[in-house]
Amino acid sequence: MISLDLCLSASSFLLALYFYLKKSNPYTALPLPPGPKGWPIIGNLLDMPTEFEWQTYHEWCKKLGTDILHVPVMGTNIIVLDSTEAVMELMERRSSIYSDRARMPMINELMHWSFNVGFMPYGEYWRKHRRLMHQLLHPTAALRFRPHELKATHNMLQRFLETPENVIGNLRYMAGETIMSVAYGLPIKQKDDIYIQTAERGVHPLVAAAVPGAFLVDMLPWLKYVPEWMPGAGFQKKAREWGALAMRMVDLPFADAKKRIAEGTADPSFTSISLERAGQGTKDEAYQEPVIRGSAGTMYAAGSDTTVSAITSCILGLLENPEILRKAQAELDSVVKPGHLPDFEDEDSLPYITALTMETLRWRDVVPIAIPRYLQVDDEYKGYRLPKGSIVIPNAWAMLHDEDVYPDPFTFKPERFLTKDGKIDKTVRDPRHACFGFGRRICPGRYMAFSAVWIALASLLYSFDIQKAKDKEGNTIELSHEYLSALVIFPKPFKCSIKPRSERHARAIRSAVLEHEFEKS
């Protein structure tokens, strides 16, 4: 039998060890944030929403009276931040420990998206990409790419003259043309362009795969070793096919851009400028070919669907609020010279268009929950313990629909960003504080993205009347406002009427397109 002394000694040792560990880790005694009641082992696996999860997270937070939520799933701690206060404190002020990414085996290891800056783990290799993108896309540097944005916008207007019913298709082509020309300086065909088609096929699967919880392998990484032929391993086949599309998306335009640069026929672009600096012997290790390739490949994935989603949502808002379109057109008519189209030089004179762009980014925010972060160490917030290894999700949708900040938040209302004398009201929180990410992971292309949406909206609204469509009997076709739930939300296809405001406006579009063609020749 074990002696009493031995039992007492073991008990004393365990007690001493407990107090030592408690002292060395002061967070162990703190409670976890509140969350929905779960089950042993699986936690809240059965409660996890499969779509529009940002709304479910917000409802849980409201029910529990908290702005920080704990949702355990199969041993993984998920922390949801549901307010600007929580996000700013943790992801901005404590960004050094909240800037890592979760492993994401489906995307990074099976689909081969590890080249993408947005999914890279926090570290030196990520910093090289980030530094490169910042140097070429900061506010002043991004100005050099505005001619690309303007040309793609004018081509979009012409496509609306030719195929006004193809709303999403016309916008998608504009976004693709903008990014391909900015990233690679490649000439883009105005129909069935190989680069845009390749990029769309590569990016499309990512939108679904990046949603937290979309694939169980992200929760149970060991599943990546399950053979494709086994029952339930259909994700392996998807990953293999999607990965091949992703690699072609990155490799094809980069190789062709290098070829044109060598021939001396390339237009200035992110890739040409970066490779030129690399060839000049810069000591900055950001200017290395793998970093340039990955950064350029990231641009299409980050900017294509997001731009289209924003502009399409704005059109929905205008269809339901025709008085907003009239106000925008009145401002544009007072600034833009007859026979011309809006230009970036008009921006300071068009505050209503700027407010409209801001409301577009807020009302139906393109990325309702940012890509999840990975907490590197134990932390504490508001008396709660946030365990090391937690997946941290900022709920941007909740931040942009906070009724204390944006009264009547579900109403499309550009005037909320204007003062009584029609200027931008800087006392109202700019939606860009939430719609482009947070902290060290904030979107490096956000300045170019905002200007691309701004010029597209200004040009579209100046040139066209946008109204609800009518059926064969002349009845108005009402809108459903249905969206596809994914990392980037997207309106489901809808019908509307888009017609040039006059023949004068149509001539201005054709003239602008011809001018670009003349410059090219």
d(CA 228, CA 64): 42
- At position 314, the amino acid (one-letter code) is C
- Of 239, 241, 245, the C-alpha closest to 224 is 239
Continuous segment of H or E residues that includes residue 121? none
Size of the chain in residues: 521
Question: Is residue 282 left, alpha or beta, with left meaning phi > 0 and alpha meaning psi from -120 to 50?
Answer: beta
The residue written with tokens 């799933």 in the block is 73
Spatial contact of 397 and 57, defined as CB atoms under 8 Å apart: no
CA of residue 103 relative to chain centroid, distance = 19
What are phi and psi for residue 34, nearest 5 degrees? -65, 160
Helix (H, G, I), strand (E, B) or coil at 280: coil
- Of 460, 405, 467, the C-alpha closest to 433 is 405
d(CA 263, CA 289): 18
CA-based diameter of the chain, in Å?
A: 102
d(CA 357, CA 133): 24
- Of 349, 353, 389, the C-alpha closest to 372 is 389
d(CA 126, CA 502): 50
Listed as own residue / partner, the contacts of 114-119 with beta carbons closer than 8 Å and 24 or more positions apart are: 115/250, 115/293, 115/294, 115/297, 115/298, 116/294, 116/297, 116/298, 116/301, 117/294, 117/295, 117/298, 117/444, 118/298, 118/301, 118/302, 118/371, 118/441, 119/371
Torsion 195-148-294-208 (CA) sign: negative
- Of 494, 490, 464, 466, the C-alpha closest to 479 is 494
Helix (H, G, I), strand (E, B) or coil at 71: strand
Torsion, Cα 170 176 181 185, to 10 degrees, reads -130
222's CB contacts (< 8 A; 6+ apart) are none
220's CB contacts (< 8 A; 6+ apart) are 74
d(CA 388, CA 398): 25
d(CA 409, CA 20): 50
Helix (H, G, I), strand (E, B) or coil at 265: coil
Continuous segment of H or E residues that includes residue 258? helix 234-263
- Does the annotation list 314 as a binding residue? no
> Which segments are annotated as binding site?
443
Annotated binding site for heme: 443
